[in-house]
Amino acid sequence: MGTQSTRAGFDSVSDRVAEYNPVRGESLDSPYELSNSSFEALRHVLHDVGGQPALPVEYKEKVEETWEMNTYVTCECLGWRGVWNSEERRRAENDLGATLYFGLPYYARWITVAAKTLVAKGFITPDELSAKLDDVRARMREAKQ
């Protein structure tokens, strides 16, 4: 974290980060009014994996599977309905932390953060989400038989 390497510095940056949470943050008049400490807080978000160097990956043409396209459409609909915007989705993906971010396939990260966001914003309850997952698992078992 550069100059903010002490525990107090870390806590200070963490407190500033909390002010920019899309759900409760205050609107800024202009990016030109952003202080250095605010800029540093926006750059150093806990668990942020965005912008980290990655290993080279061979590019392969791939046709999306049905669940991937369904995930894409679902997430776009959440945006159209005002549940989130693309920046919130991207930030939520980065906030998964490196283990989940790099361990999940691309659209699995999308659907994971969609579920977390719907629960966090009170659109569904954890019990409703669990029941729906049980329904989907049962349908998948039936389809395989």
- The residues assigned a catalytic role are 106
The count of other CB atoms within 10 Å of the CB of residue 75 is: 20
CA–CA gap between residue 31 and residue 12 (Å, rounded): 21
CA–CA gap between residue 15 and residue 37 (Å, rounded): 11
Nearest to 16 by CA among 68, 65, 1, 119: 1
What is the DSSP annotation of 2-25?
A: TT--SHHHHHHHHHHHHHT-TTTP
CA–CA gap between residue 89 and residue 109 (Å, rounded): 9
CA–CA gap between residue 80 and residue 76 (Å, rounded): 6
